[in-house]
Amino acid sequence: SYIGMITQEVAVRSGTLNVRLKSEAQALDEIVVTALGLRRDERILGYAASTVKADELAIAKSGSVMSGLSGKVAGVNISAAGAAGTSQKVLIRGISSINSNQPLYIVDGIPINNSRIGNDNADFGNGANDINPEDVETVTILKGASATALYGSRASNGVIMVTTKKAKNEKLTVLYDGSFSASNVLRVMQTQNLFGQGWGSWDRAENGSWGPRLDGTMHEWGSDQLETPMMKPFSYVKNNLRDFYQTGTELNNVVSLRYGTENLGLITSYGNLSTNGILPNNGDQYSRNTFSLRGNAKIDRFAFEMSLNYVRKDIRRTEGMEMELLQHAVDVEYLQMKDYNDERYNFDNYYTFYATNPYWMIDNQYYNYQDDRVYGKIEVSFDIAKGLKAVGRAGGDFLNYSRENINAKADFSDGSYQQLGGANPLLGYYSNYRFNL
C-alpha cells in the first residue's frame, strides 16, 4: 500500500508476480482548477478555494450557473432581481471596495466579459448568464489575494473559475435534459386600507389615497361623458396587486452529443431556455439559445484543446411596474383596466400625470433587447520533458447587441423611440510552463 493508492492483497503463487499500484479515486476530490486552468492539490494552495460540481449545480434545475451556485459556498453571496435573465451580483467575503465588488470570471482558463448591459430601468443581464449550466463540469471560487497574482487588479474581488465538460473515452452518446418550472409572486408591498381617493369628488384620473374613509358606500364613478354613470362601492380592493400578476413559466431543453477515444474527444450541445415572467400580456420575456463545440486531441507530445460557444438572447422588459401600480388609488381594481379601450374604466388615452393604465403600459412602453455573443479558446501544449510542459492559450469574447426603448404617445406625454447598439470585444493570450517535481 501507499498514500493515495488502494491497498491490495495478492496471492503468492509459483512464477513471477506483476503488481501495479492503483490510484485511489477519492484523491481526485482534492484536486482543484486554479488560475489559467492549472490543476493543483487543494492541500498545497496558498489561498482558499471551494469547488462545486455539476451534480450539485443541477439540483435546482436553474437556467443560470450563478443561481445554481447560490447558497452552496460559504462566504459567497449571490443576489438578483426577480425577472429572468437580470444581472446577478456576487460578493465574495463581503464588500471590499467603494467601486465594483464583482469577481473576475474565467471559463476554461480564459477571462470573459461579465459587464452589466442596461441600467436600473432596464436590466438585460450580465455575461455569466450566457453560460449553459448543462455544459459546466465544476465551478471553483478562488478567494485568497494570492490567487489574483496572474490576473492583476481585475481579480481583486476574487475569481470564479468555470470548467466545462470534456469528452471522455466513450462511444457516440446522445443525451437530453429538460426541465419545467413555474413561479408566483412571493410578497407584494402593503398599502393602507382605510382611506380612499377623493377630496371633494371621485375622479378616475386622480390617484390620491388620502380622501374620505373607505366605508363601502355606493358612489357614481366613471367618465363624465358616459350617459349612465356607473355605481361603485367605495371599498378597498383586497389582493389587488397580487391578482394583477400571473404565474410565470420557464422551459429549458438541452441536447448534447459526445464521442471520445484515448487520443480524441468531441462534445457538442444545443440549449434553449424560454421564460415568460409574472407580468401579464408577455410583459416580461426572456429567451436564450446556446450552442457549444468543444474538442481535444493528442498527437505524440502535442495536445490540443478548443472550445467555441455561441449565444443568442432576446429579451422584452417592462420596468418599474410595481411602483407604477402603487400610484393608483386603493379602491380601483386593476383587472377592470385590462381592456384599456373600454372607456368606462379608463381615463382618456390611458395616461395621466399620476398613473398609467398598467396593461396599456405593458403593450406600449417597453424595451426590446437582442444580442449575439461568441466566446471560446484554442490551447496547445507540448511535453518538453518529463514533468515539464509548455502551454499556450488564446481566447476571445465578442458581443454585438441592439436595444429599443419604445414609449407610445399619450395625452399627457409625447411619445419617444430610442435605438442603441454596440459591440464589446475582449481578446487575450496566455502562455506558461508547468514543472512537476
pTM given for the model: 0.81
Backbone φ, ψ for residue 416 (5° rounding): -150, 155
pLDDT of 421: 67
Q: CA end-to-end span of the chain, whole Å? A: 22
Query: How many residues can be counted in the chain?
Result: 437
Residue 201 Cα to chain centre, angstroms: 48
Whether the CB-CB separation of 133 and 65 falls below 8 Å is answered with yes
pLDDT of 28: 45
**CA-closest candidate to residue 236, choices 209, 203, 200:** 209
Cβ contacts of 232 within 8 Å, gap of 6 or more: 218, 219, 220, 221, 222, 331
pLDDT of 27: 44
Q: SS3 for 28?
A: helix
pLDDT of 327: 79
The pairing of beta strand 248-260 with beta strand 173-183: antiparallel
Whether the CB-CB separation of 253 and 264 falls below 8 Å is answered with no
CATH 2.60.120.330 fits 23-164, yes or no: no
**CA-closest candidate to residue 49, choices 58, 36, 40, 57:** 40
Express each pLDDT in 108-141 by its tens digit. Answer: 888 888 888 877 677 888 888 999 999 999 998 8
Burial 316-329 (b: 16+ CB within 10 A, else e): bbbbebbebbeebb
State how far the Cα of 125 lies from the Cα of 406, in Å rounded to an integer: 19
State how far the Cα of 79 lies from the Cα of 183, in Å rounded to an integer: 17
Residue ranges of the chain with pLDDT lower than 50? Answer: 1, 26-29, 200, 349
Grid coordinates of 135: 455544459
Query: Where are the CATH 2.170.130.10 domain residues in the chain?
Result: 23-164
Give a three-class secondary structure readout of 113-156.
CCCCCECCCCECCCHHHHCCHHHEEEEEEECCHHHHCCCHHHHC
pLDDT of 158: 84
pLDDT of 73: 84
C-alpha atoms less than 13 angstroms from C-alpha of 239 in its C-beta half-sphere? 6
Whether the CB-CB separation of 140 and 171 falls below 8 Å is answered with no
Cβ contacts of 190 within 8 Å, gap of 6 or more: none
